[in-house]
Amino acid sequence: MINTSTFLCILRRSTVAGAVVAAAVVVGPASANKDPVTPKQLKLYQEAFMEEVRKGDLLFHGDAAMAEQLGVKLSTTGWACAMCHPMASDTHPHAFPKFQQSMAKFATLRDMINWCIEKPNQGEKIDPESEAMKALEAYITWSNTGSVLVPGKY
């Protein structure tokens, strides 16, 4: 049987828990980043994304002017990413992060981009947080829009 002090302790705890739940219901869910996006904002977001895709497309296809503008040297062999991956084919960005056999480690898409730059293209590894890396990632991801995720297949 429960004694009086135990009963009062349980009652206090349940009252506090009930008050927290009631406050959450009254206040509502957290509203961080939940403001509706206006059509004007969405258009600006899409334009910014497509500008990164454009830069990435140029880099991916070996545009020397864009590489110079972004301060990267993606190849010393004369090869561009698109020579092995036309239109970003066989890149499978949706499959990352994963264990990458060619690297013998668990890798992100950015790791794989740098591996391709350093190994087959014999270029200089780029900063994973650089504008060039983000542009390449945007282009590769955009080019593969609609791809189905099949973990372990690629």
pLDDT digits (tens, 9 = 90+) for 55-96: 999 999 999 999 999 999 999 999 999 999 998 988 889 889
The one-letter code for the residue type at 89 is: S
**pLDDT, average across residues 23-52:** 79
Q: For residue 17, how far is the Cα from the chain centroid?
A: 38
What are the helix and strand counts (H, E) for the chain? 6, 2
Between β-strands 105-107 and 98-100, what pairing exists: parallel, antiparallel or unpaired? antiparallel
pLDDT given for residue 74 in this prediction: 97
145's tokens: 């829009």
**What distance in Å separates the CA atoms of residue 77 and residue 88, rounded to the nearest whole number?**
19
pLDDT given for residue 95 in this prediction: 87
Nearest Cα to 136, choosing from 82, 65, 68?
Answer: 82
**Which domains are present in the chain?**
37-143 (1.10.760.10)
Ramachandran angles phi, psi of 9, nearest 5°: -65, -45
Q: pLDDT class for 119, splitting at 50, 70, 90?
A: very high
Q: For residue 82, how far is the Cα from the chain centroid?
A: 21
pTM check: above 0.95: no
Taking the CB of residue 66, how many other CB atoms lie within 10 A of it? Answer: 20
